[in-house]
Amino acid sequence: MNELNELKQKGKVPDLAYFGGGKEFGKVLHVGKPNIGSRETFMKMMNDLLDRGWLTNNGPYVREFEARIARQANAKHCIAMCNGTIALEIAVRALGMRGEVIVPSFTFVATAHCLQWQEITPVFCDIEPTTHTIDPEQIERLITPRTTGIIAVHLWGNSCNIAALEKIAKRYNLKLLFDASHALGVSHKGVRIGNFGDAEVFSFHATKFVNCFEGGAIVTNNDNMAEKIRLMKNFGFDGLDNVTYLGTNGKMSEPSAAMGLTSLDNMQDFIASNESNYRAYSRNLLSVPGCSMLRYDELEENNFQYIVVEINEAAFGLSRDQLVQLLHAENIRARRYFYPGVHNMEPYRSNSPSAGLVLSVTKRVTSEVMSLPTGTAVDTGIVQRICDLISFISANSSEIRQKLQ
Ligand code: T4K
């Protein structure tokens, strides 16, 4: 903060030229920068799998990865996949969803694409303001005779209102799938995510705190579902030349599983980094007006993998978009996840132009939320400097606002 402090002492406000060139942070700080576990372990596994000559198709590392994820989630079955999106598509198909399925709009686009890809219509539902998860109260109003299911998202690793969702699913005979892409290692009322609904789907994309480069998994306690999913992700093969089911190729490869296993070895360290960054952000942003952080439920296990901040323009002095612009100019690549809401993306915007009418919380949140860098690439010193910068921007917002115009 040297330059900023100097300017501050001289009573000067940095102009846009200051907010550029990354004077504050020499290196770019990304949201989603992958955690890399022990390179030594990973390289050894890569050598082993090359020596073994078994690169994919249910190899030993994939089987070990599945066993460890199932154990981690305390669930009966884990079927590893090549990514979270294909895992969602296969889960939707295995559950027999069709017609219409209710989903939040405030999520990554894959939650809706996994349906539309199979010509199932996503019907967008609003979210609860404190957790950003689907609002069960609105779901009932969206149910039609064509509705066959709900995909709820444990967004940011905050679990949904599961009891309410299970009640609705039961009452209307709907399938209930959880997109748990963000929620590995999270508990809900003391039970690990992976045990709810008909199935839950994890993503192990490079940007997730446990990653397989690309990867995903379906976790379920239902034996029949698990068997069906295993067939579906491997072209329907049951034995060497016996295809018993319509399937696709959703298999995870051995190098991906090796990365996943390495990541799992370091999972607790990754969570510890995330948690100390989360606590440092919470402490430092507390006094910044108009800046509020999404809280994790302290009574549960959390992975703390997203730092989610809501910017109230009136109190902060600048809009979320203006703040993000300034942070980017300083090499802090804050992200506007999940702007503009899936209902505002194609093909949904064209297919259901009035979907936004019932999404008032989504509308506000998509214009106010940003994610900040965390993970092992960031430490509490860096967090402090990011927060100092945000605080400085807010304190000088009226002058900065004029310069931005
Ligand atoms: N459901 C939910 C709720 C999800 O969040 C996701 C994925 C899915 C389903 C689908 O799961 P997958 O099929 O992906 O397994 C990224 C990820 O690609 C995506 O996996 C993730 N959600 C989403 C939240 O974030 P983008 O479009 O933001 O990616 P991109 O390329 O802009 O990268 C994100 C940030 O990470 C950048 O700041 C750069 C940094 N990065 C990225 C990669 C790949 C790195 O520093 N290194 C890297 O290797 O979607």
Cα dist. 316→14, 323, 368, 394, 400 in Å? Answer: 17, 10, 11, 6, 12
Q: Residue 150: which CATH number?
A: 3.40.640.10
312 and 396 fall within a common domain: yes
| Residue closest by Cα to atom 45 of ligand 1 | 33
In the numeric block, which tokens belong to residue 74?
A: 């305390």
Which stretches of the chain drop beneath a pLDDT of 70? 1-26
134 and 78 fall within a common domain: yes
E strands, 56-214, where? 77-81, 100-104, 121-125, 147-153, 175-179, 187-188, 191-192, 199-203
Predicted pLDDT of residue 27: 82
E strands, 82-173, where? 100-104, 121-125, 147-153
24 and 83 fall within a common domain: no
In the numeric block, which tokens belong to residue 208?
A: 């997730």
Q: If DSSP codes are grouped into helix, strand and coil, which group holds residue 177?
A: strand
Please indicate whether residue 89, judged by its CB atom, sits closer than 6 Å to ligand 1: no
| Residue closest by Cα to atom 22 of ligand 1 | 108
Asked if residue 263 lies in contact with residue 211, where contact means CB atoms within 8 angstroms, the answer is yes
Give the nearest ligand 1 atom to 215 CA: 15
pTM of the entire predicted model: 0.96
Residue 179 Cα, ligand 1 centroid: separation in angstroms?
Answer: 15
> How many domains does the structure of the chain reveal?
2
273 and 261 fall within a common domain: no
What are the tens digits of pLDDT across the range 261-270? 999 999 999 9
Please indicate whether residue 76, judged by its CB atom, sits closer than 6 Å to ligand 1: no
Asked if residue 50 lies in contact with residue 56, where contact means CB atoms within 8 angstroms, the answer is no
54 and 189 fall within a common domain: yes
| Residue closest by Cα to atom 46 of ligand 1 | 33
What are the tens digits of pLDDT across the range 183-230? 999 999 999 999 999 999 999 999 999 999 999 999 999 999 999 999
Question: In angstroms, rounded to a whole number, what is the distance separating the alpha carbons of residues 230 and 260?
Answer: 19
Measuring CA to CA, which residue among 126, 94, 35 is closest to residue 223?
94
186 and 302 fall within a common domain: no
- Give residue 251's domain range: 39-265
Predicted pLDDT of residue 60: 98
Please indicate whether residue 30, judged by its CB atom, sits closer than 6 Å to ligand 1: yes
Last residue of a domain, one of 217, 237, 265: 265
Measure the CA angle with vertex 116, ends 109 and 371; round to 5°. Answer: 5
Please indicate whether residue 68, judged by its CB atom, sits closer than 6 Å to ligand 1: no
| Residue closest by Cα to atom 27 of ligand 1 | 108
Please indicate whether residue 205, judged by its CB atom, sits closer than 6 Å to ligand 1: yes
Residue 193 Cα, ligand 1 centroid: separation in angstroms?
Answer: 21
Give the nearest ligand 1 atom to 338 CA: 24
